[in-house]
Amino acid sequence: MKNTKGKVYLVGAGPGDIGLLTIKGMKCLQKAEVVIYDFHLNAQVLNYINHDAEFIYAGKRGGHHTMTQDEINKVLVKKAKAGKKVCRLKGGDPFVFGRGGEEAEALAKEGVEFEIVPGVSSAVAAPAYAGIPITHRLYSSSFAVIPGYEDTTKDESSIDWSRLATGVGTLIFLMAVKNMDVLIKKLIENGRSPETPVAVIRWGTRPDQKTITGTLGNIMEAVRQKEIKPPAVMVVGDVVKLRDTLNWYEKKPMFGQRILTTREHSGGFEELEEMGAEIIAFPTIEIAPPENYRDLDRAINRIGSYAWIIFTSANGVRYFMQRLIDRDKDIREMKGVKVCAIGTKTAAEIKKFGIKVDLIPEEFNAEGLIESFQRVKVSKGQSLKGMRLLLPRAEKAREIFPEKVRELGGEIDVPVAYRAIKPEMHGKRLKRFLKEGRISIATFTSAATFNNFREIIGEDADELLRDVAIAVIGPVTARAIEKAGLKVDIMPKKATIEAMVEEIKRWVRKKKS
């Protein structure tokens, strides 16, 4: 009998940098059937969620509440009692001013099983990413975390300012911008020196992190001049003096860059993340099997009759080999057949199956493939006339190489090994990022990734890309983008992700110089 007992996981998603999501938090996300999430999250966290899960947005932005706390509590109880695994996903840590305690109480009252998964709080992470340790043997041995949003019109405060102002080494105020002038006034009135160092960190741990420093006496003027808005953390104490020495994150060469990737997997861009960029994965293509295997099966049944098998992508290799295995065959069927790979990544995928690659064209495109085959033909005294080739490929692909082979008298079969389809996605959050200028570079690895992007985003897609640097993997993709009236800023000479990454690094260096 199926266990219908539900459970709620109160999960802290961390302050923004997706790398600060805990392993346990990720595991809870992956098994969740219902996800109730807040606004202040890195949108990429949602990529780890089972796509069959029910998503419920419960956040607030600009003071506007999508759901009240009572409504959230009721939904948590209702979904758990319906036998669902529920993930309540909260920014930072659920027990640090996140109302996680209230939600846990509501669950306990209703007899609902729950588990707390702590997250990295912005109280610790934002100062760390700004180069400010909240404790240091020479500067401070204590710290306090205080809500900065307390109603300043109340007659009595829940905060004992007389003890707090001088009794704690480092003071960390969360959500402090709105009431900052009052907070500073309270500290000075209760004995904290106006010369005390202060730092204000907006969007801590994210590419748009902005840090300003000053003293209690002058920080408000700096906040006004720099137009610092929520969300921000304020750090008060001598530890702020260490920022000039320990500032590490904002000095990374790719700091400030938020890079959009539109391929199915964002692998290959890890180096940019290590250098300080944030990768926004928004796959606009999804790889799927062919609608039918008739042509591919026919080619596999007579695989020994081909002189060459040509693979143009790692996907082509994987789907072809999987079908070969599914047909109860193996690589011995390919004995005597030469193998060509377009690109080093494709070659590496072929080698995983214990197959030697005989040819890798210098240029990773159809034109380079034609040139390489003509060179092989001349050097070995061969002729394409009467030669049989197999090119398992995507459903929609260029016909330049097959047409040239036939023109030279060769035979070529081009069965569909896989399809690149448009995934079911919505681009609401990405559109907001684009409108707010929070995407610096958009990458496209094929014409399909660009065309699908336009369809998903809608009629204003081209306009949203006008102020974004566009990077493409090669001239075919560039032509599709230029046809839409947009400018290509970055294109490598070699059509690989590695070359694109190197070109992006060069472009950023040039822009900063």
Residue 1 pLDDT grade (very low, low, confident, very high; cuts 50, 70, 90): very low
% of residues, the chain, pLDDT over 70: 92
Number of domains in the chain: 4
What is the distance of C-alpha 456 from the center of its chain?
A: 18
Q: Residues 338, 404: one domain?
A: yes
Sign of CA dihedral 190, 193, 194, 197: negative
**Angle between helix 100-109 and helix 69-81 axes, rounded to 10 deg:** 40
Residues 414, 296 share a domain: yes
Q: What was the pLDDT predicted at 374?
A: 64
For residues 301 and 372, state if they share a domain. yes
The CATH number linked to 74 is: 3.40.1010.10
Residue 498 covered by a domain:
yes
* Alpha-helix residue ranges (DSSP H) falling in 327-365: 344-351
Per-residue CA distances from 342 to 36, 158, 223, 313 (Å): 44, 67, 54, 7
Place of tokens 């306009």: 463
If asked whether residues 276 and 398 sit together in one domain, one would say no
Q: How many CA atoms lie within 13 A of 28 on its CB side?
A: 25
- Please report the pLDDT score of residue 378 as a whole number: 42
- Residue 268 is classified by DSSP as T
Q: Give the pLDDT score at 141.
A: 95
| Tens-place pLDDT, residues 187-203 | 999 999 999 999 999 99
Assess whether pLDDT exceeds 70 at residue 61: no
110, 135: one domain = no
42 near 13, Cβ under 8 Å? yes
176 in a domain, yes or no? Answer: yes
Strand ranges for 323-392 from DSSP E: 338-341, 388-390
- CB of 503 within 8 A of CB of 511? no
Q: What is the pLDDT of residues 23-52, one digit of tens each?
A: 999 999 999 999 999 877 787 887 777 778
pLDDT given at position 429: 80
Q: Is the pLDDT of residue 73 over 70?
A: yes
pLDDT band at 58 (very low <50, low <70, confident <90, very high): confident
- Do 244 and 363 reside in the same domain of the chain? no
Prediction pTM value? 0.83
Any idea what the CATH number is for the domain that residue 199 is in?
3.30.950.10
Same domain, 292 and 409: yes
Other residues' Cβ atoms within 10 Å of the Cβ of residue 86: 29
Q: According to the model, what pLDDT value does residue 255 have?
A: 96
* Spatial distance between the Cα atoms of 91 and 86, rounded to a whole number of angstroms: 16
Percentage of the chain modeled with pLDDT above 90: 71
At 87, phi and psi to the nearest 5?
-110, 115
Residue 454 shares a structural domain with residue 399:
no
* Domain identity same for 416 and 293: yes
Query: Is residue 58 located within the same domain as residue 146?
Result: no
**pLDDT value of residue 379:** 47
- Three-state secondary structure call for residue 137: coil
Same domain, 167 and 42: no
**How would you classify the pairing of strands 64-65 and 60-61?**
antiparallel
> What's the pLDDT tens digit per position in 350-399?
999 999 999 888 765 666 667 776 666 544 556 667 789 999 998 888 78
- The overall average pLDDT reported for the chain is 90
Residues with a catalytic annotation lie at 38, 60, 175
b/e for 455-476, b at 16 or more Cβ within 10 A? ebbeeebeebbeebbbbbbbee
Residue at which a domain ends, from 361, 396, 421: 421
Residue that has been written with the tokens 């694109």 in this structure:
500
Peptide bond into 133 cis (omega under 30): no
Q: CB-hemisphere CA count at 13 Å for 77? A: 16
In which element (H, E) is residue 125 found?
Answer: helix 122-129
pLDDT at 151 over 80: no
- Identify the domain boundary among 387, 421, 455: 421
CATH of the domain at 498: 3.40.50.10090
Spatial distance between the Cα atoms of 451 and 343, rounded to a whole number of angstroms: 24
Choose the weakest-confidence range: 220-229, 239-248, 425-434, 474-483: 425-434
Q: Which of 40-44, 53-57, 125-129 has the lowest mean pLDDT?
A: 40-44
* DSSP 8-state code for residue 103: H
**What is the side-by-side strand order in the sheet with 469-472?**
278-281, 258-261, 441-444, 469-472
Cα–Cα distances in angstroms (integers) from residue 385 to residues 1, 157, 308, 359, 378, in the given order: 65, 90, 13, 19, 13
For residue 153, being part of any structural domain is answered with yes
Question: What is the rounded distance in angstroms from the CA atom of residue 236 to the CA atom of residue 145?
Answer: 11
Q: 363 to each of 267, 354, 359, 496, how far by Cα in Å?
A: 22, 24, 12, 10
Owning domain of residue 448: 258-285+423-512
Which of 95, 120, 145 lies at the terminal end of a domain, its last residue? 120
Element containing residue 7 per DSSP (H, E):
strand 7-12
Residue 267 has pLDDT above 70, yes or no: yes
Lowest mean pLDDT among 9-18, 128-137, 202-211, 372-381: 372-381
